[in-house]
Amino acid sequence: MGLKVSVIVDVCNPGDTADASIRSTMEQTMPADEYEVIFVDDGSTDGIAERLDAIAAIRRNVRVLHLPHTGSPMRGRNVGLAAAAGDYVFFLSQGDRLEKDALARMHERAVESDADVLVGRLVRDWGPPMTAFERSTSRADILRDRLLTALVPQQLYRRAFLEEHELGFPVPGGRMGEQAFVTRAYLHAKVIAVLAEHVCCHLGERRRSAEDPRAIVKELHRLLDDVDKYLGEGRQRDRVYAHWFRTAVLRPLMTSKFADSSIDRGALFRVAQELTERRFPESLDRHLPVQLRLVAAYVRAGRLDQIVLMANATKKAGLRADLTEVRWDAHVLVLGVTVEVVTGDGTPDRYRVEGDRLHWIPPRVLDTRKLPDDITDITDAVERARVELYVRHTETGLVHFLPLTQEVERIEDGRRRMRVRIKAETRLDVTQAALGEPLRPGQWEVHVRMFSGANQARSRVSRPEGPFNCLGVLAQRPRTRLVVPCWSDQGELGLAVEPRSFSESIALVSPGVEVKHIGGHAYVVLPVPYVRPVSTEGVHHAVRAAERRPAA
């Protein structure tokens, strides 16, 4: 029987940070004679090369390839792919970690679905959540299943498929090169499957490397040529184009790094102008949020000054998510929230009313005189506005999205001004919230994202100003487990599933409380606010147990 999977791990001077990654490849539940691990060392000088050679000397399914230093993992991945013997290959970086059953689960699902690409659930501690893992599917669509949110190479690929279409990583490459490789794989694949119910890989921190803007432009042109070839003209192609317009061209112009530093800013702006002129016509702007429509207009008009002003004026804008209800319905936690976009000073964003149309109001510092009147129209986008609520495990980074109901509210706020707010309610069933399975023990944060006509932003759900009384419950299915709503030090809502101890449970719901164990008894020490007495006589505070009344 041939090898089922080849794991290709790029390594370059990791120190001891690669220990978890190396160990995770060695401890797979898949039998060692059914998979191989190929470590590709990019000219390391910290002793890792010798360590890997020592591992390969005692493990028959481990090989080490030594390359001269390039500073990029791209060439190493290509070399590892050329040397691989498995039916499928999986690319792993030195900071990543596989779950013990990852290879077995992914291979089983890939064979079962006859997939060219299998996207196993990924978790990370940085960036927005990957919405591609809301559900498992054996026939995924690039747009419908939001695969463009998972453009990382840590996926399972049929090796014969990659060889047939001559798919590899551009050298020297970079982040754009990685995303282009994955996008091409999606475009060529006959079948893409998503395995969402089990975590397969934990993504570590990325190795930072300088990227040449000219190389990014060249790679993006090549990628868009492939999009033209495999999708043809139409709405699907336009939406894929709009994705790259947003992520590769416009959003980099709205970062603090671009706004705060003039180094190479002019060169980057000229690159954006060239790309916009050659590949991104104005007809694509309808797929953009309104701020980026404005940025696109300024790029076409050559107004670098306005883009810098806009980046500085909007960088403090955000989202406010207020909790309006917390209650238990049996073991189901019911959460009510209102979500609204706020400006840099924390006040709600307001929109201009013109007849039956609603318009975003750009910052006052901007020159909007020569822009089209309809560029700020967000009427249709507001009608499609939505929020997403999800919980995130603080230790693993695992994310689960919650089902919810919502309604968009328009609130009149002065003459010809209006606010837009979304009211939402979710029912968090701790026994089924993890794609039909119970939430795992630990601390879970509650997050919210809003997609509206003016903004796309995410935030934590904050504690209300008034008192909220919401105790923990014992969820009975499939086994008894304690679930306790709690607050962070910053007043953000969380959920503790199966706290490790009684003391931890008390501390979660009562900030400032201490639990002391004296003489075999547990004493709960409650902080009592001092109230200055009106009279000169002493004031005594006493806490007494309520007397039990005899049963009737």
Q: Percent of the chain beyond pLDDT 70?
A: 86
Give me the residue label for tokens 């400032």: 512
Amino acid 515: pLDDT: 65
Among 192, 91, 184, 188, which Cα is nearest to 141's? 192
Greatest mean pLDDT among 211-215, 271-275, 335-339, 381-385 lies in 271-275
Amino acid 547: pLDDT: 46
Amino acid 220: pLDDT: 92
Pairing of strands 97-98, 88-93: unpaired
Give the C-alpha separation, 6 to 330, whole Å.
48
Amino acid 528: pLDDT: 55
Residue 485 has pLDDT above 70, yes or no: yes
Helix (H) or strand (E) holding 508: helix 502-509
Give the C-alpha separation, 535 to 493, whole Å.
41
Residue 542 has pLDDT above 60, yes or no: no
Cβ–Cβ < 8 Å for 433, 481: no
Q: At 388, is the pLDDT very low, low, confident or very high (cuts 50, 70, 90)?
A: confident
Amino acid 469: pLDDT: 58
Residue 510 has pLDDT above 90, yes or no: no
The CA-based angle 475-433-492, given to 5 degrees, is 85
Mean pLDDT of 435-464: 75
Could you give the 3-state DSSP secondary structure of residue 333? Answer: strand
Q: Percent of the chain beyond pLDDT 90?
A: 46
Q: At 372, is the pLDDT very low, low, confident or very high (cuts 50, 70, 90)?
A: confident
| pLDDT tens digits, one per residue of 134-181 | 899 999 999 999 999 999 999 999 999 999 999 999 887 778 889 999
**Pick from 168-182, 259-273, 354-368, 460-474: least confident:** 460-474
| pLDDT tens digits, one per residue of 232-277 | 889 999 999 999 999 999 999 998 888 887 777 888 899 999 999 9
Mean pLDDT of 46-69: 93
| Whether residue 464 has a cis bond before it, omega within 30° of 0 | no
**Pick from 87-96, 148-157, 502-511: least confident:** 502-511
| The three-state (H, E, C) secondary structure of 457-472, written as one string | EEEECECCCCCCCCCC
Residue 532 has pLDDT above 70, yes or no: no
Amino acid 248: pLDDT: 92
Residue 383 has pLDDT above 50, yes or no: yes
Give the C-alpha separation, 124 to 132, whole Å.
14
Greatest mean pLDDT among 52-56, 322-326, 464-468 lies in 52-56
Mean pLDDT of 179-205: 94
Amino acid 341: pLDDT: 84
Alpha carbon separation from 315 to 330, 344, 369 (Å, rounded): 42, 7, 23
Residue 80 has pLDDT above 70, yes or no: yes
Give me the residue label for tokens 């609204």: 340
Mean pLDDT of 386-390: 87
Pure H helices in 232-264: 235-244, 256-260
Give the C-alpha separation, 392 to 508, whole Å.
17
Q: At 452, is the pLDDT very low, low, confident or very high (cuts 50, 70, 90)?
A: low
Residue 473 has pLDDT above 90, yes or no: no
Amino acid 506: pLDDT: 57
DSSP secondary structure string for all residues of 300-329: HHT-HHHHHHHHHHHTT-EEEEEEEEEEEE
Give the C-alpha separation, 92 to 200, whole Å.
11
Residue 501 has pLDDT above 80, yes or no: no
Residue 438 has pLDDT above 60, yes or no: yes
Cβ atoms < 10 Å from Cβ of 249: 24
CA 456 to chain centre: 13
Cβ atoms < 10 Å from Cβ of 21: 22
Give me the residue label for tokens 């969402």: 196
Q: 234 is written with which tokens?
A: 């139409």
Phi-psi region of 174 (alpha: psi -120 to 50; beta: other; left: phi over 0): left
Amino acid 543: pLDDT: 42
